[in-house]
């Protein structure tokens, strides 16, 4: 087995410890927002044309687009805690056009409709950008593209093979290091148009305000504990006693257990860990270049993603993907020292010229992973309930597409979206515990081995690929 660059060039342990000392266990994006009023708790009995469960991107886009389709509709949105506190306030802010978690995954699972999916994904991203500009949302939106970087020699050929010559630029090692100065870079592929960057917390708040302006009624601290369907309506029961009786319901609960029992094994929650540096000085920023301000991800199976914020901090996340037995989601899982130390070590291997930079924030977020690694869309109760989940870490843009899918489905419309195999098909469910935990750990181990063997996938991974369960970042 080979070593990776992050093992060959490890920084001093004292540097790692000093960089993390004093960091806050809090998502920077939420810490960077002004105080805002808390929305009321649902306590009585409400009725609605559409009830939306979940106050993140999926829920807000669904509520907002529903009001745009029918301004007279009564739309109620229920959030279990605070707006944007979960994945919508914890992600990296990569707004990617892909609806299939990248081209490779799309080619494997939806080869016959990949061109359509690419077109619809780019159209969706363009419409997000147009909305931000038209509405004047102050969300630090930058359409700068993203660079896939090679940190090992074998990855260079893979990136060069992916280069289609249109809207992409391929860099050898020297050219890549001209873009961003890192001794780890062996090459790179810059996709110019398919990715924007955004401040995730500001986007969540902008969506909330747009919903309120459109007349959506929003309730916080109102976790839905039960969904029951009648012949002509669906009733949502909130823990504490409130209810909403709605003609239609959209479920936007991300990694949390679905209110539809039949789909509870279709996602598993996987923890992703993130660091944010203090703002870089002009000299520090000059030492790494990065004039294009592109989003970056390396090409390993266990990959890092990183970008600059508006005030020139570096967000550095990824690599570890931690699943806890039983799919548990608990606050104590947010602070995993081993993961933060690993991330810090890899950061200074990538940018040794930034020695002395400290991390101001550290946090974790839960990814709703499904077995096909891109969102699925389901209905229940004679089409009165719609559900989208399984974004697997690339949902900032795809949530808007999912919102339109759910609204089409709830309206009983046959559209280009609803005719897609992406929408009509379902991923395989995960096995129940105790089988899920060892299965996930086996996949993690095998992917790590591939990263240590020039990307070569072992028999276990090839078997998963053959039955449609393989993962390729």
- Pairwise CA distance, residues 63 & 218, whole Å: 10
Which tokens belong to 394?
Answer: 């690339």
Of 88-92, 345-349, 460-464, the least confident: 460-464
- CB of 284 closer than 8 Å to CB of 357: yes
Q: Tell me what pLDDT residue 444 has.
A: 85
Q: Tell me what pLDDT residue 213 has.
A: 98
81-99 pLDDT, tens digit per residue, is 999 999 999 999 999 999 9
Q: What is the mean pLDDT of residues 362-391?
A: 96
Q: What is the mean pLDDT of residues 370-399?
A: 96
Within a 10 A sphere around the Cβ of 7, how many other Cβ atoms?
12
Q: Tell me what pLDDT residue 457 has.
A: 79
Q: Tell me what pLDDT residue 463 has.
A: 74
Q: Tell me what pLDDT residue 324 has.
A: 95
Domain-wise residue ranges, the chain? 45-103+200-266+372-424, 436-466
- CB of 1 closer than 8 Å to CB of 453: yes
The mean of the pLDDT values for the chain is: 94
- Pairwise CA distance, residues 81 & 64, whole Å: 20
- CB of 398 closer than 8 Å to CB of 99: yes
Q: Tell me what pLDDT residue 470 has.
A: 60
Of 139-143, 156-160, 404-408, 450-454, the least confident: 450-454
135-190 pLDDT, tens digit per residue, is 999 999 999 999 999 999 999 999 998 887 778 999 999 999 999 999 999 999 99
pLDDT higher than threshold 60 for residue 473: no
Q: What is the mean pLDDT of residues 464-470?
A: 64
100-123 pLDDT, tens digit per residue, is 999 889 998 999 999 999 999 999
- Pairwise CA distance, residues 327 & 318, whole Å: 19
pLDDT higher than threshold 70 for residue 371: yes
pLDDT higher than threshold 70 for residue 215: yes
pLDDT higher than threshold 70 for residue 469: no
Tell me: cis bond preceding 418? Omega within 30 of 0 counts.
Answer: no
Q: Tell me what pLDDT residue 1 has.
A: 67
Q: What percent of the chain has pLDDT over 70?
A: 97
Q: What is the mean pLDDT of residues 201-209?
A: 98
Angstrom distances, CA of residue 230 to CA of 44, 241, 246, 382: 20, 19, 10, 10
Q: What percent of the chain has pLDDT over 90?
A: 86
Phi, psi of 349 (to 5 degrees): -65, -40
Q: Tell me what pLDDT residue 440 has.
A: 86
Q: Tell me what pLDDT residue 454 has.
A: 77
Q: How confident is the model at residue 468 (pLDDT cuts 50, 70, 90)?
A: low
Q: Which CATH class is domain 45-103+200-266+372-424?
A: alpha beta
SS (H, E, C) 256-297: CCCCCHHHCCCCEEEEEEEEEECCCCHHHHHHHECCCCCEEE
The CA dihedral of 153, 157, 162, 164, to the nearest 10 degrees, is 120
Q: Tell me what pLDDT residue 202 has.
A: 98
- Pairwise CA distance, residues 72 & 235, whole Å: 21
Which tokens belong to 123?
Answer: 């159209």
Q: What is the mean pLDDT of residues 397-414?
A: 98
Which tokens belong to 291?
Answer: 């004039």
Q: Tell me what pLDDT residue 451 has.
A: 81
């Amino acid at each position: 087995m080979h070593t990776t660059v992050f093992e060959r060039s490890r920084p001093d342990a004292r540097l790692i410890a000093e960089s993390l000392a004093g960091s806050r266990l809090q998502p920077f994006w939420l810490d960077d927002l002004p105080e805002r009023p808390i929305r009321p708790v649902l306590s009585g009995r409400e009725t609605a044309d559409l009830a939306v469960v979940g106050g993140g991107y999926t829920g807000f886009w669904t509520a907002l687009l529903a009001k745009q389709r029918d301004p007279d509709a009564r739309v109620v949105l229920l959030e279990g805690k605070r707006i944007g506190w979960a994945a919508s306030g914890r992600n990296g802010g990569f707004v990617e056009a892909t609806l299939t978690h990248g081209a490779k995954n799309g080619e494997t699972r939806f080869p016959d409709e990949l061109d359509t999916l690419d077109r619809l994904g780019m159209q969706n991203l363009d419409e997000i950008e147009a909305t931000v500009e038209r509405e004047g949302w102050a969300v630090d939106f930058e359409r700068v593209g993203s660079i896939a970087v090679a940190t090992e020699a074998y990855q260079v050929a893979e990136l060069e093979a992916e280069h289609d010559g249109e809207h992409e630029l391929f860099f050898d090692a020297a050219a890549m290091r001209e873009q961003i100065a890192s001794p780890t870079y062996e090459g790179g592929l810059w996709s110019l148009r398919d990715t924007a960057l955004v401040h995730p917390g500001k986007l969540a708040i902008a969506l909330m305000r747009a919903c309120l302006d459109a007349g959506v009624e929003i309730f916080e601290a109102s976790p839905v504990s039960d969904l029951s369907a009648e012949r002509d309506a669906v009733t949502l029961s909130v823990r504490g006693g409130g209810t909403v009786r709605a003609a239609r319901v959209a479920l936007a609960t991300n990694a949390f257990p679905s209110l539809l029992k039949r789909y509870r094994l279709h996602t598993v929650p996987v923890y992703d860990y993130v660091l944010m540096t203090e703002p870089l000085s002009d000299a520090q920023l000059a030492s790494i270049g990065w004039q294009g301000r592109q989003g970056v991800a390396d090409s390993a199976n266990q990959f890092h993603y990183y970008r600059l914020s508006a005030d020139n901090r570096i967000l550095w996340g990824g690599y570890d993907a931690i699943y806890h037995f039983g799919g548990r989601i608990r606050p104590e899982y947010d602070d995993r020292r081993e993961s933060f130390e690993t991330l810090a070590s890899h950061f200074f291997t990538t940018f040794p010229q930034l020695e002395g930079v400290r991390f101001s924030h550290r946090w974790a977020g839960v990814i709703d992973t499904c077995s096909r690694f891109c969102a699925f869309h389901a209905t229940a109760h004679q089409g009165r309930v719609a559900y989208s989940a399984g974004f697997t870490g690339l949902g900032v843009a795809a949530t808007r597409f999912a919102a339109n899918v759910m609204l089409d489905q709830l309206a009983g419309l046959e559209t280009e979206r609803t005719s897609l195999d992406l929408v009509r098909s379902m991923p395989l469910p995960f096995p129940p515990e105790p089988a899920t935990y060892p299965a996930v750990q086996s996949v993690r181990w095998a992917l790590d081995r591939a990263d240590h063997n020039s990307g070569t996938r072992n028999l276990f991974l090839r078997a998963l690929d053959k039955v449609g369960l393989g993962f390729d970042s």
